[in-house]
Every structure is written in C-alpha cells, then in structure tokens.
Amino acid sequence: MSLSEEARLQDRLTGIRERIAIAAGKSGREPAVIRLVAATKSQPPAVLARLFSLGIQDVGENRVQEAAAKREILGSKGTWHFIGHLQKNKAHAAAHLFDWVQSIDSLDLAQAISRGATALGRSIAVLLQVNVSGEGTKFGVPPEAAQELAEEVNALPGLELRGLFTIAPYTEDPEASRPVFGGLRTLRDRIERNTGLALPVLSMGMSHDFLIAIEEGSTMVRIGTALLGPRQPRVNR
Ligand SMILES: *Cc1c(COP(=O)(O)O)cnc(C)c1O
C-alpha cells in the first residue's frame, strides 16, 4: 500500500468509528459494544495486514479458497468471519479457517461444520442467517423457522451459537431497511424469551445502511466499500 492509500484508510476508519459512535448514542448504547468487521473479500493480503496494524481485529470473507490463500500469508493474526454462502462440501475447510461462521441457514450445514470443528478440536462461533424480508437475498432461514433451528444448532458440539445475521435488500434509501433490522431484533428477543437461549449478537448493517442498523440494535456491522473503497474486480472465478 502506498502512503497516501494508508492515510486514506486511516481517515475512512476514523470517520466510520465516529459515525458508529453517533448511531450507538441514538440507541442509548456505548460505541464499544458495536463490533466492526472489515469485509475484505477481493482485497489483497497487504490490506488485511494494514487493517490489523490499525487495530481492526475482525475480517469478513465470503470465499473459502480466497480466505485460505490470505491466511497462508497472514498466519494466525485476526479473527476471521465467514459471511458468504457456504456449501456443505467446504464446511470442513471453513471450520479450519474461520473463527466465526455467520451464515448458518440449515441444520445440514450446521452439522457439517460441527463435524469439522469437532475433528479439529475447535470451537466455532456461529450465527443463524435469517431472511427477514423474504426477498432480496436468496439465502437465510425464514423467520418462522429460526427458533427451531436455533435450538438444534445450540445442541451441536463444536459450535457456539451467538446470535443472528441478516442482509437487508439493497435500497436507494437505507431508511427503507429499518423494518428489516427491527424485525431481526424482535425475532431475537422472541427466541430468547421462548427458549432461554442467549443470543447477544445481531450482525446487521453494511456500508450504506450501518447507521440505521445500529439504531435498530445491531452489535456487529460488516463494512467493505465505505472503509476500503471499491472492490477489485474478481478475475477467473
Ligand atoms: C461484501 C459484504 C459486506 C460489505 O459490503 P459493503 O457494502 O461493501 O460494505 C457485508 N456483508 C456481507 C455479507 C458481504 O458479503
């Protein structure tokens, strides 16, 4: 990275942290409770190394092979989140590479990661991906099926169920996503009440809608372009 790129990254990070603090204040919370995951898909390893040196701990990737190549270079640094759609045949590799898998949307997938984690003697933090809007993203469990899946996933060895994850459909006006984020929060509250499970993590909010997501109770935002600029076009995939 050039010096000017590094300065720009530092500036963007400062700006995002300020905006996170304002939104947290609006929802009556301390900024420190909001975890910032840098969505680093398509970014080269040098960018992740720079983020770690700027104090960012969490990075989010959506392809197993791409993450494997980066981890080979970066070693054990950082906390790695899988935030894409995971195929079952990659579950074992994912259990090896990632500390968190946010996109659990079936018992089959959860069982496959559980087997991988158990074989490796690891514990993987997981979130259930919920398709709150019923449109937009193809993936995620419907809200009405989330409670049953939460109880099943919670019973699996090698997995620690921490909460819920959603992606709001893209809209010009992020205000339109407020009901999606509020919907995930009320679903979480209801599942906690009905089951006694603790689901403290709500992963919701990206570059264009993270302020609204935080106002609605997000505890984890996944930010790519607002922090890192436009993604590099993907070659040969
Ligand atoms: C890429 C990605 C993000 C970050 O998106 P930006 O709009 O660049 O901030 C967040 N969440 C998921 C699941 C992603 O795939």
Which tokens hold the place of 105? 């949307």
Task: Output the pLDDT for position 140.
Answer: 96
What is the whole-number distance in angstroms between the Cα of residue 222 and the centre of ligand 1?
6
Predicted TM-score (pTM) of this structure: 0.96
Q: Please write the tens of the pLDDT for every residue from 52-83.
A: 999 999 999 999 999 999 999 999 999 999 99
Q: Percent of the chain beyond pLDDT 70?
A: 97
pLDDT at 236 over 70: no
Q: Please write the tens of the pLDDT for every residue from 208-223.
A: 999 999 999 999 999 9
Cβ(218) to ligand 1 under 6 A? Answer: no
What is the whole-number distance in angstroms between the Cα of residue 25 and the centre of ligand 1?
24
Nearest CA to ligand 1 atom 6: 224
Q: List 129's β-bridge partners, or say none.
A: 165
Which ligand 1 atom minimizes the distance to the CA of 206? 9
Nearest CA to ligand 1 atom 5: 224
The string of DSSP codes covering 185-201 is HHHHHHHHHHH-----E
Q: What is the residue type of 22?
A: I
Q: Please write the tens of the pLDDT for every residue from 27-51.
A: 999 999 999 999 999 999 999 999 9
Q: Please write the tens of the pLDDT for every residue from 134-144.
A: 876 679 999 99
Q: Please write the tens of the pLDDT for every residue from 5-27.
A: 889 999 999 999 999 999 999 99
Mutation probe of ligand 1 site: the residue of 170, 207, 222 with most atoms within 8 A of C-beta: 222
Which ligand 1 atom minimizes the distance to the CA of 62? 15
| Residue 209 near residue 168 (C-beta atoms within 8 A) | yes
Cβ(223) to ligand 1 under 6 A? Answer: yes
Mean pLDDT of the chain, nearest integer: 95
CA atoms 80, 175, 31, 53: torsion sign: positive
Residue 42 backbone dihedrals phi, psi, to 5 degrees: 75, -5
- pLDDT class of 237 with cuts at 50, 70, 90: very low
3-state secondary structure the chain: CCHHHHHHHHHHHHHHHHHHHHHHHHCCCCHHHCEEEEECCCCCHHHHHHHHHCCCCEEEECCHHHHHHHHHHHCCCCEEEECCCCCHHHHHHHHHHCCEEEEECCHHHHHHHHHHHHHHCCCEEEEEEECCCCCCCCCCECHHHHHHHHHHHHCCCCEEEEEEECCCCCCCCHHHHHHHHHHHHHHHHHHHHHHCCCCCEEECCCCCCHHHHHHCCCCEEEECHHHHCCCCCCCCC
